[in-house]
Amino acid sequence: MYDVYGVIGYPVKHSLSPVIHNLGFKLLGLKSVYGTFEVSPENFEQAVIGIKALGIQGLSVTVPYKERIMKYLDEIYKTSSEIGAVNTVVVEEGRLLGFNTDWIGVLKAFEENGISLKGKQVVVIGAGGAAKAVVYAVKEAGAKEIVIYNRTYQKAVELAQKFGGVPKPWDELNKAEGEIIIQTTSVGLNSKESVVGPEVLLRFKVAMDLVYSPLKTTFLTYAEEKGCKVIDGLQMLFYQGIEQLRLWTKKSLSQESLSIIQKELYAEVQRRQA
């Protein structure tokens, strides 16, 4: 008998999460399997009700359901309510527990690159779902100042108010300055667009892009050209997934297993982008 896990979202067929989790289960020696559940918005409620009935042990939750799933859960971990989004469901004794591992993915990505956010001036571009986890993580890590630019200014204001950041209008983005810049919008996803030009990246030391398709976005290419240390979006995806595995299995992977999964994840992206 296999334990069943999966990712629920719409669309979700091209998710990379099965690569992380199926290999993770194998390396942990567990008889578990992870699939994709592509559920359209009109069927979402029925699907959530079915989690317990089908005996599913845990779920990753992705766009557009990270907020919508919250009202169906029996318990929501404090961090997830503060961020306002759940990306992980753990099923324990028939109860649905909600967690957020995205913010941990952000912190680990910085940590693994040897970059401290403490006392830094950080610019966050975007104020959508992913930005909430980013701003929460940056604040938790003790950044000195968090400046938020978003196309819809009101959303930047709301996010800044929630976590103590400074909202700035979108048309002033070309004047952005600081030490670390984090790109959280979907601009650049499967395209050559960049939210800012190289002249902006010249003013930063570290640049992170949450978009990982393509792996080297134009934003990161400009950043690298201007001498920034760069962090690609796959690093956050990897670490948030590893944290999910830990929550589901209560087991930690060895350093060797982590390297195997990370290598396979990058190889899979390269195969898909070839």
- State the residues that interact with ligand NAP by CB under 6 A: 63, 102, 105, 126-131, 150-152, 155, 184-187, 189, 210-212, 233, 236-237, 240
What's the min distance (Å) between Cβ of 235 and ligand NAP? 8
C-beta neighbour count of 30 within 10 angstroms: 15
Catalytically active residues are 66
C-beta neighbour count of 148 within 10 angstroms: 26
What's the min distance (Å) between Cβ of 175 and ligand NAP? 16
What's the min distance (Å) between Cβ of 68 and ligand NAP? 12
Identity of the residue, 15 or 57, whose beta carbon is nearer to ligand NAP in the bound complex: 15
First vs last C-alpha separation in the chain: 37
**Strands 88-92 and 95-99: what pairing?**
antiparallel
By Cβ distance, which residue is nearest to ligand NAP?
Answer: 128
C-alpha–C-alpha distance, residues 169 and 202, integer Å: 20
Identity of the residue, 74 or 172, whose beta carbon is nearer to ligand NAP in the bound complex: 172
What's the min distance (Å) between Cβ of 16 and ligand NAP? 9
Identity of the residue, 108 or 120, whose beta carbon is nearer to ligand NAP in the bound complex: 108
Identity of the residue, 92 or 172, whose beta carbon is nearer to ligand NAP in the bound complex: 172
C-alpha–C-alpha distance, residues 7 and 249, integer Å: 16
User: How does 39-71 read in b/e, with b if 16+ C-beta sit within 10 Å?
Assistant: beeeebeebbeebeeeebbbbbbbeebbeebbe
Q: Which two tokens stand for residue 66?
A: 């990270």
